[in-house]
Chain A
Protein backbone atom coordinates (compact mmCIF):
# COMPACT_ATOMS: atom_id res chain seq x y z
CA UNK A 1 0.00 0.00 0.00
CA UNK A 2 1.38 3.41 -0.96
CA UNK A 3 0.03 6.47 0.75
CA UNK A 4 0.25 10.20 0.14
CA UNK A 5 -0.80 12.48 2.96
CA UNK A 6 -1.51 16.17 2.66
CA UNK A 7 -2.48 18.71 5.28
CA UNK A 8 -3.53 22.22 4.35
CA UNK A 9 -4.73 25.35 6.08
CA UNK A 10 -8.51 25.76 6.05
CA UNK A 11 -8.54 28.25 3.20
CA UNK A 12 -10.84 27.97 0.17
CA UNK A 13 -7.93 28.65 -2.18
CA UNK A 14 -6.25 25.40 -1.12
CA UNK A 15 -9.21 23.22 -2.08
CA UNK A 16 -8.25 23.48 -5.73
CA UNK A 17 -4.73 22.32 -4.88
CA UNK A 18 -6.16 19.31 -3.04
CA UNK A 19 -8.34 18.49 -6.06
CA UNK A 20 -5.36 18.68 -8.41
CA UNK A 21 -3.20 16.47 -6.19
CA UNK A 22 -5.97 13.89 -5.78
CA UNK A 23 -6.64 13.78 -9.52
CA UNK A 24 -2.94 13.41 -10.33
CA UNK A 25 -2.52 10.55 -7.87
CA UNK A 26 -5.74 8.89 -9.03
CA UNK A 27 -4.41 8.92 -12.59
CA UNK A 28 -1.06 7.55 -11.42
CA UNK A 29 -2.86 4.85 -9.43
CA UNK A 30 -4.62 3.64 -12.54
CA UNK A 31 -8.11 5.03 -12.02
CA UNK A 32 -9.88 5.10 -15.40
CA UNK A 33 -9.86 8.44 -17.20
CA UNK A 34 -13.66 8.41 -17.28
CA UNK A 35 -13.73 8.40 -13.45
CA UNK A 36 -11.20 11.18 -12.89
CA UNK A 37 -13.83 13.94 -13.08
CA UNK A 38 -15.79 12.14 -10.38
CA UNK A 39 -12.69 11.85 -8.19
CA UNK A 40 -11.93 15.54 -8.70
CA UNK A 41 -15.46 16.62 -7.81
CA UNK A 42 -15.91 14.26 -4.84
CA UNK A 43 -12.55 15.20 -3.30
CA UNK A 44 -13.35 18.87 -3.89
CA UNK A 45 -16.71 18.50 -2.17
CA UNK A 46 -15.18 16.73 0.84
CA UNK A 47 -12.41 19.31 1.19
CA UNK A 48 -14.80 22.27 0.70
CA UNK A 49 -17.04 20.93 3.45
CA UNK A 50 -14.07 20.45 5.77
CA UNK A 51 -12.69 23.92 5.06
CA UNK A 52 -16.05 25.57 5.70
CA UNK A 53 -16.46 23.61 8.94
CA UNK A 54 -12.98 24.59 10.12
CA UNK A 55 -13.56 28.25 9.25
CA UNK A 56 -16.57 28.20 11.56
CA UNK A 57 -15.16 26.15 14.43
CA UNK A 58 -11.36 26.03 14.31
CA UNK A 59 -9.81 28.17 11.54
CA UNK A 60 -6.26 27.56 12.80
CA UNK A 61 -6.46 23.79 12.42
CA UNK A 62 -5.41 22.14 9.15
CA UNK A 63 -7.54 19.78 7.08
CA UNK A 64 -6.03 16.38 6.37
CA UNK A 65 -6.34 14.29 3.23
CA UNK A 66 -4.91 10.81 2.73
CA UNK A 67 -4.73 9.18 -0.69
CA UNK A 68 -3.82 5.54 -0.94
CA UNK A 69 -3.50 2.70 -3.38
CA UNK A 70 -5.09 -0.22 -1.58
CA UNK A 71 -5.54 -3.61 -3.28
CA UNK A 72 -6.86 -2.34 -6.57
CA UNK A 73 -8.81 0.57 -5.06
CA UNK A 74 -7.89 4.23 -4.96
CA UNK A 75 -8.99 5.40 -1.53
CA UNK A 76 -9.29 8.98 -0.30
CA UNK A 77 -9.90 9.96 3.30
CA UNK A 78 -10.66 13.57 4.21
CA UNK A 79 -10.56 14.31 7.92
CA UNK A 80 -11.48 17.45 9.78
CA UNK A 81 -11.54 18.26 13.48
CA UNK A 82 -14.57 20.56 13.51
CA UNK A 83 -17.40 19.28 15.70
CA UNK A 84 -20.17 17.72 13.66
CA UNK A 85 -23.14 15.54 14.43
CA UNK A 86 -24.87 12.66 12.74
CA UNK A 87 -27.63 14.87 11.35
CA UNK A 88 -25.22 16.55 8.98
CA UNK A 89 -24.21 13.17 7.63
CA UNK A 90 -27.77 12.34 6.61
CA UNK A 91 -28.14 12.75 2.89
CA UNK A 92 -30.65 15.50 2.21
CA UNK A 93 -33.55 14.93 -0.12
CA UNK A 94 -33.71 18.16 -2.06
CA UNK A 95 -35.22 16.88 -5.25
CA UNK A 96 -38.84 17.06 -4.25
CA UNK A 97 -38.66 20.29 -2.30
CA UNK A 98 -40.16 23.44 -3.78
CA UNK A 99 -37.59 26.14 -4.45
CA UNK A 100 -38.72 28.35 -1.61
CA UNK A 101 -38.25 25.49 0.82
CA UNK A 102 -34.89 24.46 -0.55
CA UNK A 103 -32.21 24.59 2.15
CA UNK A 104 -28.88 26.27 1.72
CA UNK A 105 -26.90 23.64 -0.18
CA UNK A 106 -23.76 23.70 1.97
CA UNK A 107 -25.57 23.89 5.28
CA UNK A 108 -27.69 20.90 4.40
CA UNK A 109 -24.84 18.55 3.60
CA UNK A 110 -25.44 18.99 -0.11
CA UNK A 111 -21.79 18.24 -0.74
CA UNK A 112 -22.04 14.87 0.96
CA UNK A 113 -25.07 14.05 -1.16
CA UNK A 114 -22.99 14.86 -4.24
CA UNK A 115 -20.14 12.65 -3.01
CA UNK A 116 -22.58 9.80 -2.45
CA UNK A 117 -23.74 10.20 -6.03
CA UNK A 118 -20.20 10.11 -7.38
CA UNK A 119 -18.20 7.51 -5.47
CA UNK A 120 -19.43 3.93 -5.46
CA UNK A 121 -18.00 3.39 -2.00
CA UNK A 122 -18.50 6.16 0.60
CA UNK A 123 -18.35 6.10 4.37
CA UNK A 124 -19.11 9.16 6.49
CA UNK A 125 -18.25 9.18 10.17
CA UNK A 126 -19.40 12.25 12.08
CA UNK A 127 -18.62 12.91 15.71
CA UNK A 128 -18.11 15.80 18.12
CA UNK A 129 -14.38 15.49 17.33
CA UNK A 130 -14.83 15.96 13.60
CA UNK A 131 -15.86 14.26 10.41
CA UNK A 132 -14.09 11.59 8.41
CA UNK A 133 -15.17 10.97 4.82
CA UNK A 134 -13.71 7.89 3.15
CA UNK A 135 -14.39 7.21 -0.50
CA UNK A 136 -12.85 4.91 -3.05
CA UNK A 137 -12.82 4.03 -6.73
CA UNK A 138 -11.52 1.04 -8.68
CA UNK A 139 -7.89 1.33 -9.75
CA UNK A 140 -5.16 -0.78 -11.30
CA UNK A 141 -3.97 -3.54 -8.98
CA UNK A 142 -0.37 -2.31 -9.01
CA UNK A 143 -1.11 1.37 -9.69
CA UNK A 144 0.78 3.67 -7.35
CA UNK A 145 3.57 1.20 -6.63
CA UNK A 146 4.30 0.60 -10.32
CA UNK A 147 7.36 2.25 -11.88
CA UNK A 148 6.78 5.27 -14.12
Chain B
Protein backbone atom coordinates (compact mmCIF):
# COMPACT_ATOMS: atom_id res chain seq x y z
CA UNK B 1 0.00 0.00 0.00
CA UNK B 2 1.15 3.49 -0.81
CA UNK B 3 1.10 6.36 1.68
CA UNK B 4 -1.96 8.54 2.15
CA UNK B 5 -1.65 11.82 4.04
CA UNK B 6 -4.27 14.25 5.25
CA UNK B 7 -4.38 16.95 7.89
CA UNK B 8 -6.80 19.20 9.72
CA UNK B 9 -6.53 21.78 12.46
CA UNK B 10 -8.67 21.71 15.60
CA UNK B 11 -8.08 24.60 17.99
CA UNK B 12 -4.31 25.01 17.92
CA UNK B 13 -3.61 21.34 17.25
CA UNK B 14 -2.89 20.12 13.73
CA UNK B 15 -3.84 16.47 13.30
CA UNK B 16 -1.94 14.62 10.58
CA UNK B 17 -3.65 11.45 9.40
CA UNK B 18 -1.24 8.88 7.98
CA UNK B 19 -2.31 5.70 6.21
CA UNK B 20 -0.19 3.03 4.55
CA UNK B 21 3.55 2.36 4.60
CA UNK B 22 6.21 4.81 5.76
CA UNK B 23 9.52 3.66 4.35
CA UNK B 24 12.53 4.90 2.40
CA UNK B 25 10.32 5.45 -0.66
CA UNK B 26 7.35 7.21 0.92
CA UNK B 27 8.90 8.96 3.95
CA UNK B 28 10.01 12.02 1.93
CA UNK B 29 6.32 12.89 1.36
CA UNK B 30 5.65 12.87 5.09
CA UNK B 31 8.79 14.95 5.65
CA UNK B 32 7.61 17.51 3.11
CA UNK B 33 4.19 17.74 4.74
CA UNK B 34 5.63 18.21 8.24
CA UNK B 35 8.06 20.88 6.99
CA UNK B 36 5.25 22.65 5.14
CA UNK B 37 3.00 22.63 8.20
CA UNK B 38 5.74 24.07 10.41
CA UNK B 39 6.63 26.68 7.81
CA UNK B 40 2.98 27.75 7.82
CA UNK B 41 3.02 28.23 11.58
CA UNK B 42 1.57 24.93 12.77
CA UNK B 43 3.77 24.15 15.76
CA UNK B 44 1.58 21.66 17.63
CA UNK B 45 1.29 18.48 15.58
CA UNK B 46 -0.44 15.20 16.34
CA UNK B 47 0.40 12.37 13.96
CA UNK B 48 -2.27 9.67 13.91
CA UNK B 49 -0.55 6.40 13.03
CA UNK B 50 -3.46 4.04 13.65
CA UNK B 51 -3.72 3.23 9.93
CA UNK B 52 0.02 2.87 9.35
CA UNK B 53 0.85 -0.66 8.14
CA UNK B 54 4.61 -0.32 8.18
CA UNK B 55 7.17 2.05 9.68
CA UNK B 56 10.94 1.79 9.39
CA UNK B 57 13.88 3.86 10.62
CA UNK B 58 13.50 6.26 7.69
CA UNK B 59 10.04 7.08 8.98
CA UNK B 60 11.37 7.42 12.51
CA UNK B 61 13.95 9.85 11.17
CA UNK B 62 11.21 11.97 9.61
CA UNK B 63 9.27 12.06 12.88
CA UNK B 64 12.41 12.97 14.85
CA UNK B 65 13.15 15.69 12.29
CA UNK B 66 9.61 17.02 12.67
CA UNK B 67 9.93 17.01 16.44
CA UNK B 68 13.16 19.00 16.24
CA UNK B 69 11.47 21.59 14.02
CA UNK B 70 8.44 22.14 16.23
CA UNK B 71 10.56 22.18 19.40
CA UNK B 72 12.52 25.05 17.85
CA UNK B 73 9.24 26.98 18.02
CA UNK B 74 8.31 25.70 21.50
CA UNK B 75 5.86 23.38 19.79
CA UNK B 76 5.08 19.70 20.11
CA UNK B 77 4.84 16.61 17.93
CA UNK B 78 2.97 13.72 19.47
CA UNK B 79 1.68 10.44 18.15
CA UNK B 80 -1.42 8.31 18.28
CA UNK B 81 -0.53 4.64 18.05
CA UNK B 82 -1.78 1.43 19.63
CA UNK B 83 -0.42 -1.07 17.11
CA UNK B 84 2.12 -3.34 18.75
CA UNK B 85 4.14 -3.84 15.55
CA UNK B 86 4.61 -0.09 15.20
CA UNK B 87 5.19 0.55 18.91
CA UNK B 88 7.89 -2.10 18.91
CA UNK B 89 10.21 -0.06 16.69
CA UNK B 90 9.79 2.95 19.00
CA UNK B 91 10.69 0.77 21.97
CA UNK B 92 13.73 -0.80 20.25
CA UNK B 93 15.14 2.62 19.46
CA UNK B 94 14.22 4.17 22.80
CA UNK B 95 12.01 6.76 21.12
CA UNK B 96 9.10 6.02 23.44
CA UNK B 97 10.98 8.35 25.81
CA UNK B 98 11.11 11.09 23.19
CA UNK B 99 7.57 11.11 21.79
CA UNK B 100 4.30 11.47 23.63
CA UNK B 101 2.32 8.45 22.43
CA UNK B 102 -1.44 8.31 22.97
CA UNK B 103 -4.08 5.64 22.45
CA UNK B 104 -6.52 7.90 20.60
CA UNK B 105 -6.84 11.34 19.06
CA UNK B 106 -9.32 12.30 21.78
CA UNK B 107 -6.91 11.26 24.51
CA UNK B 108 -4.13 13.30 22.91
CA UNK B 109 -6.40 16.33 22.47
CA UNK B 110 -7.41 16.10 26.11
CA UNK B 111 -3.79 15.96 27.23
CA UNK B 112 -2.90 18.82 24.90
CA UNK B 113 -5.74 20.90 26.31
CA UNK B 114 -4.49 20.32 29.86
CA UNK B 115 -1.00 21.49 28.88
CA UNK B 116 -2.13 24.74 27.27
Contact = CB atoms under 8 A, between A and B. Distances in A.
A104 B54 CA distance: 20
A125 B23 CA distance: 24
Interface of B: 21, 23-25, 54, 56-58, 60-61, 64, 67-68, 71, 85, 88-89, 92-95, 97-98
B25 A15 contact: yes
A2 interface: no
A41 B64 contact: no
Interface string A110-132: 11011001100000000000000
A44 B56 contact: yes
The 4 A-B pairs at the shortest CB distance, nearest first, are namely A95-B94, A117-B92, A105-B61, A12-B25
A80 interface: no
B94 A48 contact: no
B24 A110 contact: no
B23 A16 contact: yes
A95 B97 contact: yes
A44 B60 contact: no
Contacts of A48: 23-24, 56-58
A114 B54 contact: no
23 contacts: A12-B24, A13-B25, A37-B88, A41-B56, A44-B23, A44-B24, A45-B57, A51-B24, A95-B93, A99-B68, A99-B98, A100-B68, A102-B68, A105-B60, A106-B57, A110-B60, A113-B92, A113-B93, A114-B57, A114-B93, A117-B92, A117-B93, A118-B92
B23 to A, nearest CB: 6
B93 A41 contact: no
Contacts of A88: none
B56 A16 contact: no
A37 B85 CA distance: 7
B56 A114 contact: yes
A13 to B, nearest CB: 5
A95 B23 CA distance: 22
